[in-house]
Structure 1
Amino acid sequence: MMRARRRFPLSALAVALGLTTTPALAERNLVPTLERSFDVCPDRPAEPLWMQEIPLRQVYHRVLVQDIYRAQNLERVVETGNCDCATRFPSWDAAEAVFRESYASDERWEMLQSSDAYNRRANAARPAAQAICDAAGNW
């Protein structure tokens, strides 16, 4: 006895294939770029070159400087009540100086602990800084 095969109409197959290939085609149209662009304060200073070129095994150095920078800047916005671009995104010099003076010779685990502490500081200042920056249109 021969079993009857159920066949899908070609139109249903075409629709099914079309639905599964559309996201792939859309993804192909996305072009990644290494250049950063910002809606708020687009003329931000770039990270120091040494941070951009840091070896992968030492990337925690870069992360710590970024965390210091973020905490300093959010705290500065809250202290001054000002959220212009120069206040929110100053040069990296102050964060670099703190890193070099206090942390550059630390072990990895010490830097990770320091990074965590700066993240906590930044997170504590963030709500107040966001309110100030929202009012200034810089968030």
Structure 2
Amino acid sequence: MRQAGCTLVLTALVLGLTSAPGFAERNLVPTLDRSFDVCPDRPAEPVWMQEIPLRQAYQRVLVQDIYRAQNLERVVEIGNCDCATRFPSWDAAEAVFRESYASDERWEMLEASDAYNRRANAARPAAQAICDAAGNW
């Protein structure tokens, strides 16, 4: 009798564990809509960036890297992390891209992306401290 009770409990446990992922998977609904917990009214990327061909995605990445570096550095520079400072329009990043990189070769843009990533990563700890205090990280 004891062995039957253990088998029953073990069977129930196995069934419970194996059916849970199926239930969880049914609740996951993929979406292309982006929503943010922090600063939900962020400006959207420029349309040309969203529509860029896959073979030229490195251009989009470079603009994103410029944007990120500029914004984190600005937060640190002025010591403010309101949403308008952390997520301004894309105009300044686009201007830097068009003035300095738009005619560059792919490898040059990849090098520039790396440099902007290093700048952003250097500013990130100080920016995060400021933004954590403001509740915007």
* TM-score, length of structure 2 as denominator length: 0.87
Deviations 1:45-96 (A, max 9, x none): 0000011111111111111000000000000011111111111100000000
List runs of 5+ in structure 2 lacking aligned partners: 1-6
Residue equivalent to 2:27:
29
The DSSP-based 3-state class of the residue aligned with 1:138 is: coil
Task: Please tell me whether Structure 1 or Structure 2 has the larger radius of gyration of its CA atoms.
Answer: 1
- Are residue 75 (structure 1) and residue 83 (structure 2) matched? no
State the distance in 1 between where 2:119 and 2:59 align: 18
Whole-Å separation in 2 of the counterparts to 1:19 and 1:87: 46
Change (3 A) 1:12 1:78: closer
Runs of 4+ more than 6 Å apart: none
Name the counterpart of 1:122.
120
Superposed, 1:90-101 pairs within 5 Å as 90-101=88-99
Counterparts in 2 of 1:13 and 1:43: CA distance versus 1, 3 Å: same
1:54 and 2:34 equivalent?
no
Output aligned runs, 1:100-119, within 5 Å.
Answer: 100-119=98-117
**Count of aligned residue pairs for this structure pair:** 131
1:132 aligns with 2:134: no
Pick one of 39, 43, 49 that aligns with 2:37.
39
**Which structure shows the higher helix fraction?**
2
Structure 1 unmatched runs, 5+: 1-8
Residue 6 of structure 1 is matched in structure 2 by none
SS at match of 1:38: coil
Quickly say closer, same or farther: Cα 1:125–1:16, change in 2 above 3 A.
same
TM-score, scaled relative to structure 1? 0.86
Q: Distance in 1 between matches of 2:8 and 2:69?
A: 60
- Inter-partner Cα distance in structure 1 for 2:80 and 2:11: 60
CA distance in 1, matches of 2:85, 2:18: 48
CA 1:80–1:26: 2 relative to 1, 3 Å: same
